[in-house]
Amino acid sequence: MDLTINSDRLSGRLAELSEIGRVGETGVCRLALSEEYKDGMQLVRKWMDEAGLETRFDNFGNLIGRLEGKNQGQPAVMLGSHIDSQPSGGRFDGTIGVLGALEAVQTMRENGIQPEVPVEVVSFCDEEGHRFGVGLFGSRGILGSLEPGELERADEDGVTRREALTDFGADPGKLQESEYDTRKISSYIEMHIEQGPNLQEQDEPIGIVSGIAGPRWLTVTLTGTSGHAGTVPMPMRKDALTGAAEIITAFNSIVQTEAGAPTVGTVGDLKVYPGGRSIIPEKVEFTIDLRDSDLARRDEYEQQLREAVKDISEKHGLRHDISDDGGTTPKEASREIMDIMSEESRTMNLTPPVLMSGAFHDASHMADACGMGMIFVRSKDGISHHPDEYSNDEDIAIGTELLYKTMLRLVERTS
């Protein structure tokens, strides 16, 4: 395919960024605001500077590169994603969106095209939410959508987000200075790996996203009575882990109530206290990740889960607590941006399939501020959040070419 973007430069940068925080041959651990994250952001900033963007870090730990348009003061077209990763993540999740966005803007400049309106490339801080337990921090931050107490959330070493932001060089006392007047953003587009099997099954390099499922995050804590595993008779036990096991099995059934629905439920982390082969578990803490494209169905399933926690806890004589870790509601992509992506795809002799995103993205929150569009790039075997995550250079280049063409259509219009 004839490409306008420089695919060698793009794949070279992706390979170089993948070395920062590399784990094993192909994995990445670049947790938000970690040293690896800082190194990665500095490298991306260097490339943004080389591309002629005006760069800055904001107080949420976001990196923003800006190119002025012919018409000062016009709302900007924003392109972005993230370079923070899961602890045993892959090297494509988020990074292709940041580097693809930079490649699109750099190509526009190198072709002597000055946009009518400003363009911003953003590498959002802590999309994944692993280190402090809640994600989409940087994109929620610029929109003024943080929950109370988020800066006090601590990682497993007890370092708070506030301390980590300060170490990063941000000023968590001045977050408001980094918030956007959303009238200053006209649209947001993001390229991301699909992280699912659909494009591979349809043998398509890219897809156009119609919407993003909304995750609901909870933490369930069950407390019973510890005791000697050899001496406490079964009828007398208040075993927190037995209760947790029953609740998790119930949750797994609840989310599969409606055959064919895209609802998914995951318990990804579970801690047992005090822990030990010969000790009856006193306390268990586990995470809930419940996602759906239909908010009413998700709310119904959440209610059923809450009832199951209550009933099963009573059955086992356990105290229970369910803490709210937030999430997002399901979001729709802009029809107008989807149509532009389809039109531009046809100039590339492509007809990308339209599909939902089960994964959330920074686009989930940007959709609250402006028209949002996403381009998916094929994931090998649908693997993600794993070192075996893989997308090939050619598919990434095709996705970036469409991102470039879509951006050109959006930046030529003044509002």
Note the residues at the interface with ligand HGY (CB under 6 A).
127-128, 135, 359-360
Q: Which of 40, 94, 224, 387 binds Mn ion (CB under 5 A)?
A: 94
115 binds, among Mn ion, ligand HGY, none (CB under 5 to 8 A by kind): none
Task: Report in angstroms the alpha-carbon separations of 105 from 14, 24, 92, 150.
Answer: 16, 32, 20, 33
The residue number with the shortest CB distance to Mn ion is 94
Q: Which is nearer to Mn ion, 11 or 139 (CB)?
A: 139
Q: Which is nearer to ligand HGY, 75 or 89 (CB)?
A: 89
At its nearest, how many Å lie between Mn ion and the CB of residue 308?
Answer: 28
At position 283, the amino acid (one-letter code) is K
- Residue 400 · residue 172 · CB < 8 Å: no
CA distance 98 to 81: 5
At its nearest, how many Å lie between ligand HGY and the CB of residue 141?
Answer: 16
369 binds, among ligand HGY, Mn ion, none (CB under 5 to 8 A by kind): none
Secondary structure class of 264 (helix, strand, coil): strand
Q: Which is nearer to Mn ion, 118 or 196 (CB)?
A: 196
CA distance 376 to 209: 7
At its nearest, how many Å lie between ligand HGY and the CB of residue 135?
Answer: 6
Contact letters (x/-) for Mn ion, 26-55, by CB under 5 A?
A: ------------------------------
The reply to whether 93 sits near Mn ion by the rule CB under 5 A is yes
At its nearest, how many Å lie between ligand HGY and the CB of residue 225?
Answer: 35
Binding residues for Mn ion, total number by CB under 5 A: 2
**Residue 27 token pair:** 């994995």
- Residue 403 · residue 115 · CB < 8 Å: no
Eight-state DSSP code of residue 89: B
Task: Report in angstroms the alpha-carbon separations of 318 from 156, 221, 274, 310, 312.
Answer: 26, 10, 16, 9, 8
Q: Which is nearer to ligand HGY, 185 or 359 (CB)?
A: 359
The reply to whether 129 sits near Mn ion by the rule CB under 5 A is no
At its nearest, how many Å lie between ligand HGY and the CB of residue 6?
Answer: 27
CA distance 323 to 220: 7
Residue corresponding to tokens 């977050």: 175
User: Which element (helix H / strand E) includes 13?
Assistant: helix 7-18
The residue number with the shortest CB distance to ligand HGY is 359
Helix spans in 202-352 (H): 240-254, 295-315, 335-347
Long-range residue pairs from 309-314, CB within 8 A, at least 24 positions apart, any chain: 309/220, 309/222, 309/247, 312/243, 312/246, 312/247, 312/250, 313/222, 313/243, 313/247
Q: Residue 353 burial (CB < 10 Å; 0-12/13-18/19+)? A: middle
Q: Which is nearer to ligand HGY, 128 or 302 (CB)?
A: 128
395 binds, among Mn ion, ligand HGY, none (CB under 5 to 8 A by kind): none
360 binds, among Mn ion, ligand HGY, none (CB under 5 to 8 A by kind): ligand HGY
CA distance 36 to 95: 14
Q: Which is nearer to ligand HGY, 282 or 325 (CB)?
A: 325
At its nearest, how many Å lie between ligand HGY and the CB of residue 113?
Answer: 32
Q: Which is nearer to ligand HGY, 11 or 81 (CB)?
A: 81
Q: Which is nearer to ligand HGY, 196 or 371 (CB)?
A: 196
Q: Name the one range near Mn ion by CB under 5 A: 91-99, 101-109, 149-157, 331-339.
A: 91-99
Q: Which is nearer to ligand HGY, 363 or 411 (CB)?
A: 363
The contact set with Mn ion (CB under 5 A) reads 93-94
